[in-house]
Structure 1
Amino acid sequence: MKKKMAFIDLSNFHDWPMGGMLEYELAILEGLVKRFEIDIWGVSVDGIKPAPIKINGKEYNVNVFANVKTKNKIIPNYLRGMFIYGQKKIMKGHYDYYYAHTASCLVGIGFFEKNAKLIYHQHGLNYLQDHSLMQSIQRPFYTKAQKDADLVFVVSDTKSVKKYESMMKHKHHISAKYVSVRSPIRINNFDALRVQKRIDSSKNVDLKNFIYTGRLSKFKNAKLLVEVFKEYVKDINPKAKLTIVGSGEEAEDIEQKINNYDLKGKVKMLGAVKHDKIYDLLMTSDAFLTASGGEGVSVSVAEAYAAGLPVVCFNVPGLSGQVVDGVTGKIAFSQTEAGFFDAMKYVNDNHTELALNCMEAAKKYDSEKISNLITEKILSL
C-alpha cells in the first residue's frame, strides 16, 4: 500500500507564481505520484480556485488552504503559507509525509503535526547573498522550517550544501538530514535532432539570437545584459537579437534602457509567458545570458543546456558550480560589463563545441532521475 503524502506549496500549480520553482514541482510530481498516495495543497489567486492539474494522465485536485492576492496586500503573500495551520483538523494524523516547498507552509504544519515525517525543500541558497526586504522577511522561516524538518532538500551543488549544512547545524542546532539535489527538466520536450541541426547551421558565423529567462529583479541584474548586448551589436554582430522573458520590479528600468540605446527592434521584452512558449524560444536561440547574483541549481540553465545553448554568467554561487567554464559556457570572473562582454565573445568564437557539451550535460538534469532520488531519500526516513 502506498504511503500518504501532502505535497504543499504557496502556489496554484498552474501559473502562480510563474518561474522555475513551479516547473520544478510539476516535474518531480510525475515520479512521486508513482510511489505515494498524494494530496496536493495549494492556494487560490485573487479568489479564483485552481482547476485540477494533470499528472501522468490523471487529474489531481488542488486543495486550497489560503488565498493570495496580486495587489492590495495587507499581509504579504509569503506569510499566507502559515494559513495551512487552519487545516489542522483535516490534516493532523492523516499523512505519513508532509513535503513543503515554501518554508512558511512547513512552519505552519510544524505547529500541529508531530508524528509524521516533515520534509522541506529549500530552493537554492540565494538568500544568503540577497538582502532585499522580502528575503529579510523570509529568512527566519527558512531557519524554522529546517529546525522542524526531518529531511531538507537543497537545490545547490554538493559542496555548497555540505558547507551550508555544517553552518546551520552549528549555528541553529538543526538535526535534519540535508540532501543536495539538481533542478529537474523534461528532456523529452527538447527535439535533439532539431537542436543538432541548428548547431550545425551556426558553424563559423557570429551568434545572432540571445535569450534570458527569469525574474526581472535587482538581484538578477538583467539591466546589465542590455548594456553588454549594446556592445555586442556594435562590435560583433549588428543583426543580433536579445529576448528577455520574465517580469518583475526592474521591467520599466530595462525598457527605458532599451529606448535610451535605440535597441527597440533588437531587444524584445516578452514579460511572463507560459512554459511551453519558453521551450520554443530556447529552441530558436543560440546562447543563454544571465547576470544573476546567484542561483540554486538553475532550471533556466539546465533547460538552456537541453536546447544546446552555452551559458554566459558571472562567477557567483550556484552558477559557478553549474556552468563549467570553457565547457558548457563561459564564466566572467571579472564581475564587470567588460568581463561579461569578453565571456560573450568567447562563446561566440567557440560556440559549436560548447553547444554539443551542453546537450550532454543536460542529461544529468533528467526529471525522472531526480524524482527517483527524492523519492528514495524520503522513503529512507
Structure 2
Amino acid sequence: MKKKMAFIYMSNYIDWPLGGMLEYVKNIIPRLSELYDIDIFGCSVDGTFNKIVNINDSNYKIIEYTDVKTFGKIIPNFIISFFNTFKITKLKEYDIIYSHTSATTIASFFKKSRKAKLIHHQHGLSYKTASFTQRFLGIGYTVAQLLADKTLFVCGEDEIDKHKKLFPKRYSNRFFSIGSPINWTKINQISETVQETNQFIYTGRIDEHKNILLLIDSFNLYIKKYNGNEELILVGDGPQRKEVEEKIERLNLNNKIHLIGRKKQEEVFLELSKSKLFLFPSKGEGMSLSVLEAMAAGLPIVGFEVMGMKNIVEIGKNGILTESQTAESFCKAIVEAYNNRDIMSLNAKKYSEKYDTENIVRRIYEILEKNEINAKIEHI
C-alpha cells in the first residue's frame, strides 16, 4: 500500500506564482503521484480557483486551502496561508506532509500526527541577499527548516555545507541538497529537430532581481561595439514588464529585442533550441531551472558569479560568468561565450543530463524514505 502524502504549495499550479518554483513542482508531481497516494493542496488567486489542472497531459485534482492576492501582497499571503493550513481537517491522516511554503510547514508542524514526516522544500538560499521582503520572510524560512524532519534545499552542495554551519548538528543533519528537475529527454528531442537561428535568449521572470534592464543595456552594447547582428528573445512575464518594454522602445531596439511573454513548456523548449546563447544576469538563484533547461538544449550560459550560478556553470566549460555586475562585463562575457560556443554547447548538454526529472525524483524519494543520505535504491 502506498503511503499517503499531502503535497502543499501556495500555488494554483497554472500560472501563479511566476517563475521556476512553479515549473519545479509541476515537473515532480507526476512521478511522485506514482510513488505515493498523493493529495495536492493549492490556492485560489484573487478568488479564482481551478479544481482540475493539467500537468504533462494528465489531470490532477487540487484541494483549495487558501486564497492569495496578487500585486505586492507577499507577506499577507504567507500569514493567511499559515492560519488556513490549520483548517485542513484531514492533515493528521497523512504519512508524509511535503510542504513547499514556509508558512504551511510551520503550521503543519503543529497540526500533523506524531507519526507523520514533515518535509520542507526550500527553493534556494538567495533570499539571504535578496530584497527586504525576502530577507524578512527568511525568518519564516529558518523556522520551517528547524521544525521539519527533513529539509530539501534547491542549491549546490557547497552552499548547503556553508548553510549547515549556521545550525547545531542535530538540525543540520536533516538538511539535504537537491537539484532542479528538467525534462531532459523532451528538450533533446526538440533540439535535435530544430535548426538554430540568429538569436540569443532569456527565460524567466521579468523582475528587478533578474536584472533584465541591465541585460538590455548589455545587449545594446554588444550590438554597437561588436556589430552583433543577433536578436534577443525574452520569454517570461512579471512586475517589471512595462518598464522593460519602455526601455526597449526608448533605445529603439524593437526590431532587436522581443519580449514574447509566458509560453507553454514545449514552446519554451522550442525557443531555446533555436538559440545560440542563454543570457541570464540574475542577482542570485537556488539552482535555476531555466539555466539547466538551456544547457539541456545545448546553450552556453552567460551570467554573473552569484549564488546558484557558480554551482552549475563551470567557467570556460559550459558557460562564462563574470564577477563584475556591469553591462560592460556582461557584454564581454557574451563575446567570450559566443567565440567558444561549439565546445561549450557539448559540455552544457552533457552536464545537464544528471538533472533529468527521473533522477531528481529518485533523489527525493531516497531522502524521504531512507535515513542515510547515500542509500541505494534498486527499484522505485
Q: What is the TM-score normalised by the length of structure 2? A: 0.91
Q: Which moved more, 1:208-217 or 1:54-63?
A: 54-63
Q: 1:216 matched to which residue of 2?
A: 206
Does residue 134 of structure 1 match 2:164? no
Q: 1:78 matched to which residue of 2?
A: 78
Does residue 364 of structure 1 match 2:363? no
User: How far 1:139 sits from its partner (Å)?
Assistant: 1.3
CA contact (8 A) 2:190 2:273 kept: no
Q: How far apart in 2 are the matches of 1:343 and 1:246?
A: 23
Q: How far apart in 2 are the matches of 1:101 and 1:82?
A: 12
Q: 1:205 matched to which residue of 2?
A: none
Does residue 104 of structure 1 match 2:103? yes
Q: Which moved more, 1:76-85 or 1:174-183?
A: 76-85
Q: How far apart in 1 are the matches of 2:208 and 2:261?
A: 16
Does residue 351 of structure 1 match 2:341? yes
The 1:323/1:249 distance shift into structure 2, 3 A limit, reads same
Q: 2:45 matched to which residue of 1?
A: 45
Does residue 59 of structure 1 match 2:56? no
Q: How far apart in 2 are the matches of 1:272 and 1:55?
A: 16
Q: How far apart in 1 are the matches of 2:7 and 2:335?
A: 44
Deviations 1:312-340 (A, max 9, x none): 00111110111110111111133322221
Q: Which moved more, 1:140-149 or 1:209-218?
A: 209-218
User: How far 1:110 sits from its partner (Å)?
Assistant: 1.5
Q: How far apart in 2 are the matches of 1:337 and 1:289?
A: 12
Deviations 1:42-101 (A, max 9, x none): 111222222323567753310100111235959732333214433343222x00110001
CA contact (8 A) 1:65 1:86 kept: no
Q: 2:179 matched to which residue of 1?
A: 182
For residue 61 of structure 1, give the secondary structure of its aligned residue in structure 2.
Answer: strand
Q: 2:374 matched to which residue of 1?
A: none
Matches within 5 A, 1:215-294: 215-294=205-284
State the AA in 1 paired with 2:111: F
User: How far 1:9 sits from its partner (Å)?
Assistant: 0.2
Q: How far apart in 2 are the matches of 1:278 and 1:49?
A: 26
User: How far 1:198 sits from its partner (Å)?
Assistant: 4.0
The 1:242/1:51 distance shift into structure 2, 3 A limit, reads same
Q: Show structure 1 runs of 5+ residues with no match.
A: 203-207
The 1:198/1:276 distance shift into structure 2, 3 A limit, reads closer
Q: How far apart in 1 are the matches of 2:96 and 2:229?
A: 54
Q: Show structure 2 runs of 5+ residues with no match.
A: 372-380
CA contact (8 A) 2:100 2:122 kept: yes
State the AA in 1 paired with 2:147: D
CA-based RMSD of the aligned residues comes to 2.2
The 1:326/1:42 distance shift into structure 2, 3 A limit, reads same
Q: Which moved more, 1:236-245 or 1:33-42?
A: 236-245
Matches within 5 A, 1:142-181: 142-169=141-168, 174=171, 177-181=174-178
State the AA in 1 paired with 2:297: A
Deviations 1:174-213 (A, max 9, x none): 36611111100011221447448746xx8xxxxx311111
Q: What is the TM-score normalised by the length of structure 1? A: 0.90
Q: How far apart in 1 are the matches of 2:18 and 2:312?
A: 22
Q: 1:308 matched to which residue of 2?
A: 298
CA contact (8 A) 1:149 1:176 kept: no
For residue 295 of structure 1, give the secondary structure of its aligned residue in structure 2.
Answer: coil
Q: 2:376 matched to which residue of 1?
A: none
CA contact (8 A) 2:191 2:297 kept: no
- Aligned pair count reads 370
Q: 2:94 matched to which residue of 1?
A: 95
Q: 2:332 aligns with which of 326, 329, 342?
A: 342
Q: How far apart in 1 are the matches of 2:285 and 2:73?
A: 28
The 1:225/1:75 distance shift into structure 2, 3 A limit, reads closer
For residue 87 of structure 1, give the secondary structure of its aligned residue in structure 2.
Answer: coil
CA contact (8 A) 2:5 2:95 kept: yes
The 1:328/1:238 distance shift into structure 2, 3 A limit, reads closer
The 1:222/1:74 distance shift into structure 2, 3 A limit, reads closer
CA contact (8 A) 1:126 1:296 kept: yes
For residue 41 of structure 1, give the secondary structure of its aligned residue in structure 2.
Answer: strand
